[in-house]
Structure 1
Amino acid sequence: MAGISPTQASVTFIGTATTLITVGQFTLLTDPNFLHHGERAHLGYGLWTRRRTDPAMEIEELPPLDAVVLSHLHGDHFDRVARSGLDKQLPIITTPHARRRLRRWGFAGAEALPTWESHEIRRGDQLLRITAVPGRHGRGLVNLLLPQVMGTILDFEDQGQVRLRLYITGDTLYHPSLAEVPARFPEIDAMLIHLGGTRVLGALVTMDGRQGAELLRMIRPRVTVPVHYDDYTAFRSPLRDFLDAARRVGLDPGVYPLRRGETLGLPQRAIMLTV
């Protein structure tokens, strides 16, 4: 007898690049940022940015987590609330640069994931594979001044079959070399895209609307959820820039902006079971 094996898969937008991802038996937190309206996030070299919004959830309200996926160590991605409130034994999958700092802060579960390497979490017949993919926070000298950043591919497998492939861009700029991501990981089902058009010393360090649309055209996921676009004063490119650019290239039907606290179901591939 043939049938379809059902599982849950969803993303909840908390604010900035902070999301809760639930897929099958796994729950992940991305880029934990729980500062409130008016508070400052520090970016290094004496630079800071002030938060314009409140998170949709407090850190104490989080469900039990299997891991944190941290794209890089900036104050709007891992803040002092996360530093004091997260379990120090919780696995934090991140860059080698961030892992060194987190270990000094007592986060014994921090694990470095170099580009194209993977970390796996397994529960029974279900497997979640987390793979680091390239990211570039800036260009030229500016990139050298900024912390190492990674994107992430999440592959959820059930009974040996891929059910969901999710790409989290991290704070990368668009560049042609990102074409290696869909080349190595074809058929990306969903994408969390970090936007904002952030500038440091006048130089663009996160994608604006135009760059976001270019990446959307390159990846062509079934579902795209924009994040990281209006929570801080450093963000200069509003969500509308991306939505307009996506419409111009004819890819806006698959874009789903979420309100803070809103949850979106993610598309999954069916598994046919034979009895």
Structure 2
Amino acid sequence: MSRLEGKVALVTGGSRGIGAATAKKLADEGADVAFTYARSPERAAEVARVIEAKGRRALPIAADNRDAAAVEAAVERTVATLGRLDILVNNAGIFVVGPVDKLTVADFDETVAVNVRAAFAASRAAAGHLGDGGRIISIGSNLAVRMPGEGLGLYAMSKAAVVGMSKALARDLGARGITVNVVHPGSTDTEMNPAGGPGAREQIDLMAIPRFGQPEDVAGLVAWIAGPEGRNVTGAEFTIDGGANI
């Protein structure tokens, strides 16, 4: 079933983890997919091969979220190469943690640049191309909603900022039939936070369903929002964390 047949998606940070799973899932649903990556062209090439094996077009784009101009250029390249843009997934991010007296202003600036400014830049650029039925979906974090421990304030602040921005964009763009939503993953088994890594047990102890999520779980939710069933959902937050925040 190709619910996204004829659509074009751009996923930032699409060469690994949740981003790669999302790029592949959108291709499963029928979309052609561009995605950015900051490092590892080999991984990006592998994701592109998987997408193309599904019969969809793939466009890997080297672009670091620290560079807002590169993110904007990725949007323009997607449109120029694949002909249009229907779905933007703001996924790329960094996870800088530590108590406030140990963090630096440079840590703050980098976190905001990657997690917030880049999402704004991509959304701003995409808004000029999205039509009726367009989607902007940002990957937030359940830490933007609830704080279970120490040292997470900088990351949580950046993801909470994405929520505020997304709700405002939902108002700005709703009259054009464009939806804007946020997906909040909890503990998800990725390189950034492996299910067998330090602190995993403490995270599992918070959950109603005591297991780490998989990137494909998040990708499935993103694809649903991007699909026809999500046409009247906007300004919303979807938490997918095994019940850690209940």
TM-score for both structures, normalised by structure 1: 0.35
Give the number of the structure whose residues are more often helix, by fraction.
Answer: 2
- Rg larger in structure: 1
TM-score for both structures, normalised by structure 2: 0.38
